[in-house]
Amino acid sequence: MRTLLDSRAFRLTRPRLRRFTEALHRVLFGDRLGFTVFLVTVLFVGSFWRMDFAINDNETLANGVQAFSNGHLAFVDPQFGGENGVAPGTKYYDGARYAREYGLVVPASIIALVFQGLSQVFSLRVLIVGAWCLLLLLVVREVTRDARYRDELVVVGIAGVLTLFAGNVVLAAPIDPRDIPLLALQVWTMLCCGFVATVAYRLFELELPRQVAAAVGVGVVVATPVGFWASTPKRHVVVALAVLVAAYAFARRPSVAGRRGRLLRALPYACAALLAWVHPGDGGIFFVAIAIVDLVFGASYDRTQAALASGVFLIALLPFLVTNFLVSGNPVRPPQFLPQYTGQPLAGTEVGAGSGEPGGTSSGTEGGAASGSDSSPDGFSPGLVIRSMVAIASEAIGTVAGFVRRARGYAAGTLNVFVNSPQHVFQTFVRSGHIERAAARGANFSYNLAYLESMPLLGPAVLGGVHALRHSNPVQSLRNNGNVLFRDATGPNRVLAFAVVYFSLMVLFYQQRLPLHATLTVRYLVPTMPLALYLALRLPALREVVVSRFRTVGVAYALTVLVGGELLAGVFVLLSLSVGEAVQLHALLALAMAGLLAAWCTLATLDAPWGPTERRGQIGAVLLGATAGTTTVFLLLTGWMHFPYGEYAIPIVDALSELLRS
Amino acid sequence: MTVRGNPVSLFGLLVLVVAFAFGPALPTVALSSSAQEYEPASGSVNVTASELPETLSLERNGFGSGTYQLQSSFVETNVSGVSGNPLVVYDVRIPELEYNKETYRILSPDVEGTLTIRASSDTVQPSKVNATSFDATVTVLVRSDVGSRVVMTRNVTVEVVE
């Protein structure tokens, strides 16, 4: 061991460190522009980050982070939620309370530990404000890199950032160290949100010019409801990230050969496994979708690839299996399948002592593995191993069967909704308004939007999807010679197949519960929204507009956000609308934009004669920019104005928010 | 004009220095605290109500949101001799709709003279609104050291406006 560390090959030298950071940078962001996309996105979502709970089932996760960053899996002294940490989603097993979604809890715990360490020496609040200002400075530097008056612009930028920093520090209040678990969760999902944009940029960069791809990458977060969920630490942003990584891998795979190509092909499986750790349901849906696309549209599997894919999948599945094993003794029984904690008796001091050792509970572990035999160390025998493996396998089969049964129930429920209550489908996808069912479950005003209302780009997405399907290889060859050939599909065809399969599966499993209270932007379906944007840009008319009239789209977008957003805020203040009315007005505006853009797309695709020919493209560009801007305005005004809760992480936004709401 | 040095690293260093200064090592330098020292419903105050609404209206919300909302109403009060942090409360109750909304102001000793309290309002689900008018009570209360005291109360009618 010592010789290894001492040997020259492993010494950490400066060039080696630099090469390592460069490689890491390349893997994470791709290139400089990818990094800028990341910065801009995090800067945007940070501007409406509130250091408080938006939804009470986040309390469970925060309790999980609090416990795990202190070395326990089970809650010891939960500080969030009701009495004894009762909160929606808190689980109970064998006298102990657990969180769920450990795939979120564990990375957030690492951030929480870093924050705790930093707060011993520094003011955490000043660090957060400073980090946000630093992001701004980095963006200024990146954006002005090739500008004509670069140095002047940088000086102005520095002065602005310094003023902003000073102003924020004057207004800032210290952070209560007990809030660190929540902040860590929020920081984790906001970082994931940044990567959503970066991976989207890299996906679009394969088909569009770089600048356009960067704008669209940022747009995936700021012009769709993905950004809405950035600082509400639920699973949706993380699922969206996995979806984009898989889509990127599918798109890149055909052009990458050799070992890297094999690894790239295994990447979606790693995402599926890690996603199961976050949420087994979403992980399961995702797994089925990528498996279908990979097996049907990929190259045929050889033995190496099969071994690599299953190996990568199993390794990535380890955190999931280990967590489940430590919680319930059954590696395939995720916390989501455990009973809800509603105040059941706790195993008092025993739990505290048992889980006091770092690494988690030991009580559940022993109970599961040593069932019915003595657990003394010398009682180890092949028979025992086989017996416990058989026990685990039979439990696994039981859990998987339960999972399949649930899935079947959901799917049947969805088909039932489609046949018997199509109005629910309409309320989920087109127009929300007042939803009796949501109101009955506690939505006391109409704040739950439909898919199209929160993501008006769905209209072109449907058209783009249909167009791409009609012109895709398999369908074309079916038309020409009656043969269907799926194998070795091109990158874009794989992403298309993934988008269609994933979207169908998500609707199949979630529609039976929708429309529902507290979904705001149909949050269950948020992971499909980046793919919807991808499909929209598969429509040749729209792609042509975004590529050749990029500047017009940008100007229309900026005007919509800056002028339109301000006007709309003025309307809200003047009419003193209630929150429900304000959200529904946003919805109607989005619907209007969606209708116009979809109409333009239809006309442009059919090449119908209308209006002045030379203006058609320009009108499309304006409509596209304005539609994207409508969603951004929705994100900003809901973030700054409509839903007041908690203190903003960037204190100057507090002042802005008060101004808007006065 | 050229920029020497790396502004990003310099700014990062500045952030660290400021964060350290406001950190636990230097307890004399502290951030402004947002949590004000209030002890609500303490002390004493003289309050008289000068204006209470005579009717209220329950209007249907627009833009397809479907719910009803009690239109904002206000009371005017006269406040004098404040000590501590007493509360002045404007309370609206509509028993048939199970509607009960309190809007309060926390007073501090520097408050004197006319104080207008505009009621914040809750939404009412359409399934509950099955009449064209409802009976309601509007009340001004004071909460202080001596507990809760009604200053003025009035029975009013709520008209439903579609």
Is the pLDDT score of A351 beyond 90? Answer: no
Does pTM surpass 0.95?
no
Phi and psi, residue A656, nearest 5°: -60, -45
Please name the member of B11, B67, B121 whose beta carbon is closest to the beta carbon of A137: B11
* pLDDT of A3 over the 60 cut: no
DSSP state of A563: I
Using one digit for the tens of pLDDT, what is the confidence trace for A23-80? 999 999 999 999 999 999 999 999 999 999 998 889 999 999 999 999 999 999 999 9
Separation CA A196–CA A188 (nearest Å): 12
Interchain proximity A580–B61, CB inside 8 Å: yes
Please say whether the beta carbons of A515 and A424 come within 8 A: yes
Q: What is the pLDDT of residues B70-119, one digit of tens each?
A: 888 889 999 998 888 899 999 999 999 989 999 988 888 888 889 999 88
Q: Cβ B19–A127 below 8 Å, yes or no?
A: yes
Within 10 A of A614 (CB to CB), how many other CB atoms are there? 7
The token pair that represents A338 in the structure block: 């455990």
Question: Would you say A62 and A80 are in contact if contact means Cβ atoms under 8 Å apart?
Answer: yes
Instruction: Judge: A446–B64 Cβ closer than 8 Å, yes or no.
Output: yes
Instruction: Quickly state the pLDDT bin for A525 (edges 50, 70, 90).
Output: very high
> How far is it, in rounded angstroms, from Cα A322 to Cα A330?
9
Residues of chain B positioned with their CB less than 8 A from the CB of A589 = none
Q: Residue A505 pLDDT more than 80?
A: yes
Contacts of A585 in chain B (CB under 8 A): 62-63
Query: Residue B40: which of B106, B89, B101 has the closest Cα?
Result: B106
Higher-confidence position of A227 and A447? A227
Mean pLDDT of chain A: 89
pLDDT in tens, A608-622: 888 787 788 999 999
The B-side interface with A (CB below 8 A) comprises 1-3, 7-8, 11-12, 14-16, 18-25, 30-35, 61-67, 69, 72, 121-123, 125-127
Q: Which residue of A has its CA nearest to B34?
A: A173
pLDDT at residue number A454:
95
Q: Which helix (H) or strand (E) holds B151?
A: strand B147-161
User: Cβ contact (<8 Å) for A581 and B62?
Assistant: yes
Nearest residue of A to residue B27, measured between CA atoms? A123
Q: Are A270 and A247 in contact (CB under 8 A)?
A: no
Distance from CA of B146 to the nearest CA of A (A): 31
pLDDT tens digits for range A550-566: 999 999 999 999 999 99
pLDDT in tens, A251-294: 998 888 889 999 999 999 999 999 999 999 999 999 999 999 99
Chain A residues with CB-CB distance to B35 below 8 A? 173
Please tell me which residue of chain B has the smallest CA distance to A173.
B33
Estimate to the nearest angstrom the gap between the alpha carbon of A590 and the chain centroid: 22
**Nearest-neighbour CA in chain A from B63: distance (Å):** 6
Average pLDDT over residues A315-338: 92
Would you say residue A349 has pLDDT above 80?
no
The pLDDT tens digits of the residues spanning A368-407 come to: 333 333 334 445 567 778 887 888 788 888 888 888 898 8
Nearest CA in chain A to B32: A173
Residue B3: pLDDT band by 50, 70, 90 thresholds?
Answer: low
Q: Which of A122, A155, A647 sits opposite B20 (nearest CB)?
A: A122
Q: Measured between beta carbons, which residues in chain A are less than 8 angstroms from residue B126?
A: 434
Residues of A with Cβ-Cβ distance to B36 under 8 angstroms: none
Identify which of B2, B16, B65 has the shortest CB distance to residue A445: B65
Of the pLDDT bands very low, low, confident and very high (cuts 50, 70, 90), residue A539 is very high
* A259: helix, strand or coil: helix
Interchain proximity A446–B126, CB inside 8 Å: no
Candidates B1, B67, B122: best to mutate against A (most CBs of A within 10 A) is B67
Question: Exposure of A71 by Cβ count < 10 A (0-12 exposed, 13-18 middle, 19+ buried)?
Answer: middle
Contact A133 B19 (CB under 8 A): no
Round to whole Å and give the CA distance between A232 and A228: 8
Quick one: which of A110, A177, A163 has its CA closest to B23? A177
| Min Cα–Cα distance to chain A from B91, Å | 19
Check residue A310 and give its pLDDT: 94
- Note whether A122 contacts B67, CB cutoff 8 Å: no
Which residue in the set B23, B125, B126 is minimally distant from A122, CB to CB?
Answer: B23
CA-based nearest residue in chain B for residue A439: B125
Residue A291, number of CB atoms within 10 A of its CB? 16
The token duo for A557 is: 């977008």
Q: How far apart are CA A359 and CA A352, in angstroms?
A: 13
**For A429, how many CA atoms within 13 A lie in the half-sphere containing its CB?**
15
Contact at CB, A588 and B25, closer than 8 angstroms: no
Q: Quick one: pLDDT at residue A364?
A: 35
Instruction: List the single best residue of A35, A121, A123 to mutate versus B (max B Cβ within 10 A).
Output: A123
Position A44 scores a pLDDT of 97
Q: Are A158 and B11 a contacting pair at CB < 8 A?
A: yes
Say yes or no to pLDDT of B35 above 90.
no
Among the partner-chain residues A124, A173, A577, the one whose CB lies closest to the CB of B33 is A173
pLDDT of residue A358: 38
pLDDT grade, residue A5 (50/70/90)? very low
Contacting residues of B for A578, CB less than 8 Å apart: 61, 65, 67, 69, 121, 123
The lowest-confidence range among A425-434, A640-649, B13-22, B36-45 is B36-45
pLDDT value, residue B110: 85
Considering only CB atoms, A434 lies closest to which of B16, B32, B65, namely: B65
Are the beta carbons of B3 and A169 separated by less than 8 Å? no
* Kind plus residue range of the DSSP H or E element containing A22: helix A14-29
Grouping H, G, I as helix, E, B as strand and the rest as coil, residue A97 is strand
**CB < 8 Å to B3, chain A:** 151, 154-155, 158
Write down the pLDDT at residue B37.
67
Contact across the interface for A158 and B66, Cβ inside 8 Å: no
Q: CB B65 to CB A161 under 8 A? A: no
pLDDT over 50 at B158, yes or no: yes
Q: How high is the pLDDT of residue A317?
A: 95
CA distance A661 to A544: 41
Residue A434 pLDDT class (50, 70, 90 cuts): confident
Residue A466 is predicted with a pLDDT of 94
pLDDT digit string, tens, across residues A439-482: 888 777 888 999 999 999 999 999 999 999 998 888 888 888 77
> Is there a contact between B15 and A158 if contact means CB atoms under 8 Å apart?
no
Looking at this predicted complex, what is its ipTM? Answer: 0.87
% of chain A surpassing 70 pLDDT: 93
Q: Predicted confidence band at A631 (pLDDT cuts at 50, 70, 90)?
A: very high
Q: For residue A124, what is the nearest residue in chain B, using CA coordinates? A: B19
Contacting residues of A for B31, CB less than 8 Å apart: 123, 125-126, 169, 172-174
Does the CA dihedral A660-A42-A107-A400 come out positive or negative?
Answer: positive
State yes or no: pLDDT of A350 exceeds 50: no
Handedness of CA A197, A203, A204, A208 (dihedral sign): positive
Strand, coil or helix: what is A282?
helix
Contact A123 B123 (CB under 8 A): no
pLDDT value of residue A357? 37
Among A104-113, A165-174, A428-437, which range has the highest average pLDDT? A104-113
Of B14, B18, B31, the CB nearest to A174: B31
What pLDDT does residue A348 have? Answer: 62
pLDDT digits (tens, 9 = 90+) for A161-181: 999 999 999 999 999 999 999
Residue A289 CA to residue A502 CA, distance in Å, equals 5
Of B25, B32, B63, the CB nearest to A173: B32
DSSP assignment of A477-500 equals: HHHHHS----TT--HHHHHHHHHH
For chains A and B, CB pairs below 8 A equal: 139
Residues of chain B neighbouring A647 (CB-CB closer than 8 A): 34
The string of pLDDT tens digits covering residues A400-420 is 888 889 889 999 999 999 999
Determine contact, residues A198/A37, Cβ cutoff 8 Å.
yes
